[in-house]
Structure 1
Amino acid sequence: MINVRNRGFAVPFLQRLIQVNTCNPPGNEHKLSLLLQDELRELGITSSISNVEQGRSNLEAVIAGSGTRKLMFCGHLDTVSPWSAAAGSYPPHGAVIEGGRMYGRGTSDMKSGLAAMLLAAASLHQDGIRLAGDLVFLATAGEEVDSCGARLYAEQHRHDLPELDGLVIGEPTGSRVAVGHKGALWLRISLFGRSAHGSMPQLGLNAVEGMMEVIALLHRHALEWQATDPVLGSSSLSVNKITGGVQTNVVPDQCTIDVDIRTVPPLAHGPLLREIEDKLQEIQRLHPDYRYQVDQLLDRSVVYTDPGQRLITTALEIAAQQRRQGQAGGPDEEAEGDAAIDVTPVQGVPYYTDGSVLHDNGRLPVLIYGPGDHRLAHQPDEWVDIEAFLESIDFYRELAIRFLGKAEE
């Protein structure tokens, strides 16, 4: 019988995932859903695919246990765009192995975490270990842009999410236990003026120059509402895209900026958006010929789980034991319990995850844990450490066993 946790199976399995191009846009995640379904079928596990839109889908598999407890392993199928040949040394979908690393788009973010969670679940089925609860594996489409897959799942399973007892997101954390992430609010602000000949600017209303005042206002306002959380870090505001103007000799009548706002408690997105709109109205009263428009592009809530929650304490115990095993170079003979608890403080991650869509309005404990390094995400020559990937399979497997328990014989 094939051992799915064995290097000879697990590493080529991850390579096959990396070699499937699921760069978003457009995503094309359905190709990977079909590959995973075929792999699961070979291992004797039934799965279902839900279409999100043309060429895009989610995949779900349930390792049924006894009892009513439920734990979900969740990861996304899509990646960001590939790097150019000039930017990197390795092909984005080559899954090249060199120096103990696998290179490719999605190796860190987050096909390594996705593969490890699937293999962990499959190993339990393969070994005949019946858990005292259901283990749900969910692979989603579209996390890198709009979480379309997670949103569809949440809509289709709105009566099932309250039945979950824990959610594990396999995003890159460098094999560290993370308990949450900042919220994300993306805004598109458009300013409309009046065009004129570039030689007679007094006859127009320059939207690009007017937008400079809006940007300055946003940064001043960000200083007023800035907040800091000991785990999640500080709030931030960044103007990351600007478009405007037609050509050099035409006064621009329109300018648009995209603003990325990251929030931590106690900031709330609704009141914050209203404050920004109020500030813009103050400018408009001073410059009544301008017209403003604010569109919300993305709204992802803060995710935070109390470190005392059982899902987190269990994860800390397992992570600490794996570290000691690695340092000793052999099995850890210490008993489970307080001696195994990690003394390293828990952390947050800077990016947002599908957890903000699936955490049932903050009720559900969320653990973020993955073998990748978030600093490599979206970068040229993205890679994952192969040993970290293999260790994460054992981590997820042990987490499911300890959190759900084994069914009584």
Structure 2
Amino acid sequence: MGNGLDLGMDAARLTARLVDVPSVSRDERALADLIEEALRAVPGLRVDRDGDAVVARTALGRAERVVLAGHIDTVPVADNVPSRLDGAGLLWGCGTSDMKAGVAVQLRLAATLTAPNRDLTYVFYDAEEIAAEFNGLKRLVERHPDWLAGDFAVLLEPTGNRVDGGCQGTLRVQVRTTGRRAHSARSWLGDNAIHKAAPILARLAAYEPRRVEIDGLVYPEGLNAVLIEGGHAGNVIPDSCAVTVNYRFSPDQSEAEALERVRGVFDGFEVVLADSAPGALPGLSHPAAAAFVAAIGTAPAAKEAWTDVARFSALGIPAVNYGPGDPTLAHTREENVAVAAVLEAEEKLRRWLTG
């Protein structure tokens, strides 16, 4: 296929090909073009595009539709492109784990599943790794929700080939203090706003995070200071200070309930919401989810992070995370994926969709 994508490659070789096309967030056009071109050559797929997001759908009249989704962007390259395969069967390179291996599996299934037991929608979207305002899946939800319609969704984020149900919600707030500015040589004339932040840190240190069980999965929460801002110069008593706090909360809470919990922890302080995103319930009781877990054959776990499954959940579509790759290697210079894991993920999904 020349410089295009050869979907006849096995999923591991296709992963390497995808990695060798750099697609840092907001610069995904070249890879999106290749994906669109390859999918338009597959019989029986309707292919649509919005910006650098590509959606391909079957129309076989099946009783159920499954959405397989993955982002095509990566974090900035860290001297780890082009890809390389070592003697231990590890493929190294930016995006190998997060998540071009998952995208390669999607493309292989799109090209080779001619008679799946469910109708399928394949979503390849841009700008997942940066601010939510640019997220391609968010854009599709807003502009083309009909393209995403389905009964169940699998986000092929790296999970080590286990099923991770739902995801945590996340919010960030600023907890602020104020004081009076003065010369540090006459500090008694001022009121130090940074010193007044000490009780905020003490409450964080004393806070006992919840561990919430939902559908047999345990979601650990976390409430942590992630940034402190304050001060003007080395000889000035500061008159303001802000502690940015990140709350990773269980999906049993709404964003509003999570914010109220945080306000309760910092009662007496000014608390200003910076941003938030809802969690997603695991949805493992849905028949398609149960069949999927059975096909994968490993015990599911709670997703200890926020992922785009929350966007599917907001559409009323139960969704899980499942994909090859170690999530702890994502965004690292040492990012890699095992060839065997990529092939296993493709085979298990194929078995589920044809069995």
Alpha-carbon spacing, 1:35–1:212, altered in 2? closer, same or farther (3 Å): farther
Offset of 1:280 from its aligned partner? 4.2
Q: Deviations over 1:247-272 (max 9, x none)?
A: 32122233333322111254443123
User: Alignment partner of 1:206: what SS?
Assistant: coil
- Structure 1 contact 190–255 (Cα < 8 Å) conserved: yes
Offset of 1:134 from its aligned partner? 2.8
Distance 2:169 2:54 in 1: 26
1:108 maps to which of 83, 86, 97: 97
User: Alignment partner of 1:304: what SS?
Assistant: coil
2:291 maps to which of 305, 314, 329: 314
Distance 2:180 2:21 in 1: 48
1:308-387 aligned within 5 A: 308-319=285-296, 342=297, 344-360=298-314, 363-387=316-340
Distance 1:40 1:264 in 2: 37
Determine whether 1:227 maps to 2:215. no
Distance 1:42 1:107 in 2: 25
1:138 maps to which of 123, 129, 154: 123
- Structure 1 contact 239–258 (Cα < 8 Å) conserved: yes
User: Alignment partner of 2:14: what SS?
Assistant: helix
- Structure 1 contact 30–58 (Cα < 8 Å) conserved: no
Offset of 1:154 from its aligned partner? 1.4
Determine whether 1:296 maps to 2:300. no
Distance 1:177 1:131 in 2: 21
User: Alignment partner of 1:14: what SS?
Assistant: helix
Residue identity matched to 2:290: T
Alpha-carbon spacing, 1:215–1:32, altered in 2? closer, same or farther (3 Å): farther
Residue 163 of structure 2 corresponds to which residue in structure 1? Answer: 177
- Structure 2 contact 159–324 (Cα < 8 Å) conserved: yes
Alpha-carbon spacing, 1:102–1:167, altered in 2? closer, same or farther (3 Å): same
| TM-score, with length taken from structure 1 | 0.75
Alpha-carbon spacing, 1:119–1:191, altered in 2? closer, same or farther (3 Å): farther
Q: Which runs of 5+ in 1 are unaligned?
A: 52-56, 84-90, 284-291, 320-341, 403-409
User: Alignment partner of 1:298: what SS?
Assistant: strand
User: Alignment partner of 2:22: what SS?
Assistant: coil
Offset of 1:69 from its aligned partner? 2.6
User: Alignment partner of 1:237: what SS?
Assistant: strand
1:227-306 aligned within 5 A: 227-229=211-213, 230-264=216-250, 266-277=252-263, 280=266, 282-283=268-269, 292=270, 294-306=272-284
Q: Deviations over 1:269-315 (max 9, x none)?
A: 312312433554524xxxxxxxx351332313233122x43323322
Distance 1:278 1:299 in 2: 19
RMSD: 2.7
Offset of 1:112 from its aligned partner? 0.7
Residue 53 of structure 2 corresponds to which residue in structure 1? Answer: 58
Residue 181 of structure 2 corresponds to which residue in structure 1? Answer: 195
Residue identity matched to 2:48: S
Residue identity matched to 1:373: D
Offset of 1:3 from its aligned partner? 8.4
Residue identity matched to 2:49: I
- Structure 2 contact 255–276 (Cα < 8 Å) conserved: no
Offset of 1:149 from its aligned partner? 1.6
Distance 1:309 1:160 in 2: 21
| TM-score, with length taken from structure 2 | 0.86
Q: Deviations over 1:338-382 (max 9, x none)?
A: xxxx3x432122122111012235x42213210111121222311
Q: Which runs of 5+ in 2 are unaligned?
A: none
Distance 2:246 2:280 in 1: 14
Residue identity matched to 2:98: D
User: Alignment partner of 1:105: what SS?
Assistant: coil
Number of equivalent positions: 346
